[in-house]
Amino acid sequence: MKPFFAALALAALPLQIAHAAGDDIAPRSAPWPAEVEAAMRELPVMSQGRVKPFMTQVQYLLLRLKEVRSLRLPDDDPKLGEVAGEKLSPTAWALDVLLHPAQAADYPVFRVTDSEELDWVDLSSIVKKRRDSYSWNELSPAYERIWEFRSEYMKIDPKRRSRLQNQIVDLAADMSEYAGLMHAFDVLRARFPADGSPALREVFGARAEVRFSDVLAVTPELLERYSAIVGGDSEVVPDGEHGAEAEAIGALLEHAFQGASSSGYLAFLPPPDPTVEEWLTLETALLTARDWSSEQRALVVSAVARAEALVDAAGAPEALAPAVHALSDEIRVQALARGEAEKVPLEVRYLRGDYFGKALIGFVLAFVLSAVLWLRPRNRWLALATAVATAVPTGFLVYGIVLRCVLRGRPPVSTLYETILFITACGVLVALIVEWIHRQRIALSLAAALGALGMFVAYRFELTDGQDTMPQLVAVLDTNFWLATHVTTVTVGYSAGLLAGFVAYVYLLGKLVGWRRAEPRTYQLLGRMVYGVLCFGLLFSTVGTILGGIWANYSWGRFWGWDPKENGALMIVLWELMILHGRMGGFWRDWGTALLAVLGNIVVAFSWWGVNLMGVGLHSYGFTAGLKQAVTIFYGAQLLVVGLGGLAWFLERRRIELRAQAVQRERAASTAVAEIAPEPGA
C-alpha cells in the first residue's frame, strides 16, 4: 500500500487548481432553504487541531478573504444571474463554493486593499476602484504569477517586506484557501470507468462507472490484487494479461488519488480508528483505508457516500434537505461515538447569537440614553431605561464570555481576543459597582461608553485577525490553574487601570468645559473614584504580576526574566504605586492623580498591546500595521486629554488667582472707603 501511493504522490502532476470545477452543474436559482443551511452549519469538521462546526471554519475564511461576516452579492452584475443582490451567510456562501463552484467563482470575495497589487501581477485590465473586491474568475488568470511572487517574497523577513509584498503574500494564501474549499468535493463528482478489466468487473459487478466511495470501499482488495500481480514493493508491471489487469487497477487507484489530492481543505471524516486523532480528508481517507477493519471502513464509506449524495443533490433542490441532514447526522453520530463534537451545536448557538455584536449595539444605545439623561436628570423613566439599557448588553457580554468558557473548558482569558472581552466586562462591572456606591450617573455613562468601546475593539479585532477565536493552546498555556489565577488577575488590573483613566477623563474634561462648576462635591467624588479604582487596580496588578512570576518560576525556573510582557505588567504596578505614593506625600491631589491616571492608560495600552507589537510580529502584516496604528492613535488621544486637562488646570488656577485678586481689591476698596468716610457724629 505505502509504496504504491508514495510512488503516486511523487508522480502526481502539479495540481491544476486554477480552474473552477463543476462547470456542468446548473447554477443555483433559489436561496438555500433555511433547513439546509441549519444542517450544514452544524456539520462537524476538524480544522487547526480542533473539532468545530463547519460554520466556524467558513465564517473565518470569509472574514480573512473579505473582512465581512456575510456576503451581499452585487445587484448589477449580469454574471450572477438570479442570485444577484442576495445576502449570503458564510454557510450559504460556502455551500455555493462547494456545490456550485462555477457559479460561486463569480462572487466578489477577494478584498484587494490597493489596486497596485493587481498592476503588479499584470491584472490592470480588471481594476475597478483602488480598494475593491474581486472574484475568483477575475483573479485566477494571475494565480500562478501571484504564487511565483509569493515564493520570492517569502524569502524576505516579514518585517522587511514592503506593504505591497505583504499584500501579495496574503492574497496568494487567500486564493489557495479558497481553491481548497472550491475543490474539496471535486472527487465526489467524479465517475471512474470500472469495466476496463475482468478483475475490476469482478470487484464492482457489472457497473460501467463507479464513484469515489465505491473505490474507497474496495481499496484494500484492489491493492491486494495489484500486489499479487506486481509482487511486493516492486513497481515493475509484468507484460501480458496479468500486466493489463494490474495496469487497470493501478489506473483506477491513480485517478481516485489524483482526484482526492485536492480535497485537503475539508477534514470532515472522523477517523474510524479511535486511537487516531486527526480527522480525515477524502485524500487521507484513501491513503489510510487499508489500515482499517471492514467495519471501520464501512463507517467512512457510508459518510463519503452521503457526501456524494449531497453533491448530486446540488442539481435537484427537493433532494437537498434530506441529503444534507443525512451527511450532517452521520458525521455527528460518528464523532459523538468518539467523544467529540458534543459542543458543536452550542458553538453554533454562540456564533449565531452574536452576543458581542448585540452588546455593542446595546452599549451604544445605553450611552445615547445616558447622554439624554444628563439633559433631563429628573426624568425617572429615562433613568430606569438607561439602567436597563446598560444592564442588558452587560448581560449579553457576560453570557457570551460564559458560553466561551463552557465551549473551551477554560477560564475566561487565554487569548488576546479574550483579554478584550474580559477587560471590557470587568471595566463595565466595576463601573456599575462604583455607580451603585455613588449614584451620580457618571459611572453609569462610563460603563456604557466603556462597553461600547470594548465591544467595538473586539469586533474590529476579530474582523482584522480573521482567525478562529477559539484556537488550541500551545503546551505552556495548557494549565487552567495559572490561566484562572495569573491571567485573570492581571487582566482585571488592566481593566481597572483603564477605568481609572476614563474616570479621570470626566474629571479633566468636565473641569475644562465648566461642567457642574458650582458643585465641588461632584469633583471630590470623581477624584475619589479615580483614587479608588486605582487602588483596586493596583491590588490586582501587583498580585497578578507576582503570580505571573510564580508561574514562570514554576514552569521555566525563573521568577523574573525582564521579558517585555513581564516588564509591561511591572510598569503598570510602578506607575500606580508612584501615583499613590506621590498623593500620600502631598505632591499632588485630585488634579495630579487625574492627569497621571490618564497617562496610565498609555502604560496599560503599552503593556496590553504595545509589547506584542515589538519584536516578533503577530499573524500577518496587515493586522500588525493596523494594530500599530490603532495603538498609536490611542496613545495620542491620551496625550491630547492630558494636554486639555493641563489647560483646564491652568485656567482654574488663573480663575482662582483672579478671584483672589478681585477679593483683595474689593477689600482694599472697602478699607479705603472706610478711611475717608467721616466719623459718624463728627
Partner 1 sequence: MKLVRTLIRAFGSYALSASLLFLMFVVTLLGTLAQEHMGLYRAQATYFDSWFFEAVEIDGPLGIYMPGGMTLMVTLAANLFIGGMLRVRWTKARLGVLVTHVGIAILLVAGYVKQVWAHEGSLALYEGESSDEFQSYHDWEILIEERQGPGARHFTIHQRNFTDARPGRSAHLAHAELPFELEVERFLPNTRALPKGPMFDVDVPVVDGYFLQERPLDKEHERNVAGVYVSVTAAGSEPAHGILWGRERAPMTVEAGGRRFGITLRRQRFPLPFGIRLDEFTHEFHPGTTMAREYMSDVTVFDGPVPQKVKIRMNEPLRREGLVAFQSSYGPEDARPGERMYSVFAIVRNPSDQWPLYACIVIAIGMLMHFGRKLFRHVRSEVRTA
Alpha helices in 557-589, H assignment, sequence order: 564-584
Alpha helices in 105-183, H assignment, sequence order: 116-120, 136-139, 143-153, 163-183
Applying CB under 8 A, the site for partner 1 has a residue count of 61
Burial of 7 (0-12, 13-18, 19+ CB in 10 A): middle
Q: How far apart are CA 325 and CA 38, in angstroms?
A: 9
Q: How far apart are CA 285 and CA 297, in angstroms?
A: 9
**By the 8 A CB rule, do 40 and 98 touch?**
no
Choose between 557 and 680: whose C-beta lies nearer to partner 1: 557
Choose between 484 and 577: whose C-beta lies nearer to partner 1: 577
One character per residue 556-585, x = contact with partner 1 (rule: CB under 8 A): xxxxxxxxx--xx-xx--xx-xx--xx-xx
In angstroms, give the least distance from the CB of 259 to partner 1.
21
Give the residue from 112, 113, 167, 105 showing the smallest Cα distance to 136.
Answer: 105
Choose between 455 and 483: whose C-beta lies nearer to partner 1: 483
Interface residue with partner 1 among 547, 625, 630, 637 (CB under 8 A) is 547
In angstroms, give the least distance from the CB of 276 to partner 1.
8
Give the residue from 143, 190, 184, 142 showing the smallest Cα distance to 58.
Answer: 184
In angstroms, give the least distance from the CB of 442 to partner 1.
14
Position 539 contacts partner 1 (CB under 8 A)? yes
One character per residue 71-110, x = contact with partner 1 (rule: CB under 8 A): ----------------------------------------
Interface residue with partner 1 among 154, 228, 437, 513 (CB under 8 A) is 437
Looking at residues 388 to 407 of the shown chain, list those that interact with partner 1 (rule: CB under 8 A). none
Choose between 96 and 590: whose C-beta lies nearer to partner 1: 590
In angstroms, give the least distance from the CB of 594 to partner 1.
16
Q: Half-sphere exposure of residue 571, counting CA atoms within 13 Å on the CB side?
A: 19
Looking at residues 479 to 538 of the shown chain, list those that interact with partner 1 (rule: CB under 8 A). 479, 482, 528, 532, 535-536, 538
- With CB under 8 A as the contact rule, which of the stretches 118-126, 501-509, 551-559, 673-681 interacts with partner 1? 551-559
Position 154 contacts partner 1 (CB under 8 A)? no
Beta bridge partners of 267: 46
For residue 472, what is the DSSP state?
A: P
Q: Half-sphere exposure of residue 122, counting CA atoms within 13 Å on the CB side?
A: 9
Strands (E), 275-391: none
CB contact burial 385-420 (16+ within 10 A = b; e otherwise): bbbebbebbbebbbebbebbeebbebbbbbbebbbb
Choose between 135 and 638: whose C-beta lies nearer to partner 1: 638
Choose between 29 and 472: whose C-beta lies nearer to partner 1: 472
Interface residue with partner 1 among 114, 122, 233, 478 (CB under 8 A) is 478
For residue 126, what is the DSSP state?
A: G
Residue with cell 487567500: 174
Choose between 68 and 473: whose C-beta lies nearer to partner 1: 473
Choose between 8 and 535: whose C-beta lies nearer to partner 1: 535
Choose between 130 and 558: whose C-beta lies nearer to partner 1: 558
In angstroms, give the least distance from the CB of 47 to partner 1.
8
One character per residue 443-472, x = contact with partner 1 (rule: CB under 8 A): -----------------------------x
Interface residue with partner 1 among 553, 632, 661, 670 (CB under 8 A) is 553
In angstroms, give the least distance from the CB of 476 to partner 1.
5
Position 442 contacts partner 1 (CB under 8 A)? no
Q: How far apart are CA 657 and CA 442, in angstroms?
A: 29
> What phi, psi does 87 have (nearest 5°)?
-105, 120
- With CB under 8 A as the contact rule, which of the stretches 45-53, 181-189, 238-246, 350-358 interacts with partner 1? 45-53
Strand, coil or helix: 363: helix
Position 615 contacts partner 1 (CB under 8 A)? yes
Q: Concatenated DSSP letters for 485-510? A: IIIHHHHHHHHHHHHHHHHHHHHHHH
Please state, as a whole number, how many other Cβ atoms lie within 10 Å of the Cβ of residue 582: 15
Choose between 10 and 682: whose C-beta lies nearer to partner 1: 10
> What phi, psi does 52 have (nearest 5°)?
-145, 170
Interface residue with partner 1 among 82, 209, 278, 666 (CB under 8 A) is 278
Interface residue with partner 1 among 2, 12, 33, 48 (CB under 8 A) is 48
Position 586 contacts partner 1 (CB under 8 A)? yes
Q: How far apart are CA 543 and CA 565, in angstroms?
A: 15
In angstroms, give the least distance from the CB of 339 to partner 1.
14
Strand, coil or helix: 465: helix
**By the 8 A CB rule, do 22 and 98 touch?**
no
The dihedral sign for the CA sequence 608, 613, 619, 623: positive
Residue with cell 457489472: 206
In angstroms, give the least distance from the CB of 145 to partner 1.
28
Position 591 contacts partner 1 (CB under 8 A)? no
Burial of 363 (0-12, 13-18, 19+ CB in 10 A): buried
Position 409 contacts partner 1 (CB under 8 A)? no
Position 546 contacts partner 1 (CB under 8 A)? yes
In angstroms, give the least distance from the CB of 344 to partner 1.
16
- With CB under 8 A as the contact rule, which of the stretches 275-283, 343-351, 405-413, 510-518 interacts with partner 1? 275-283
Binding residues for partner 1 (CB under 8 A): 46-50, 267, 277-279, 437-439, 472, 474-476, 478-479, 482, 528, 532, 535-536, 538-539, 542-543, 546-547, 549-550, 553-564, 567-568, 570-571, 574-575, 577-578, 581-582, 584-587, 603, 611, 614-615
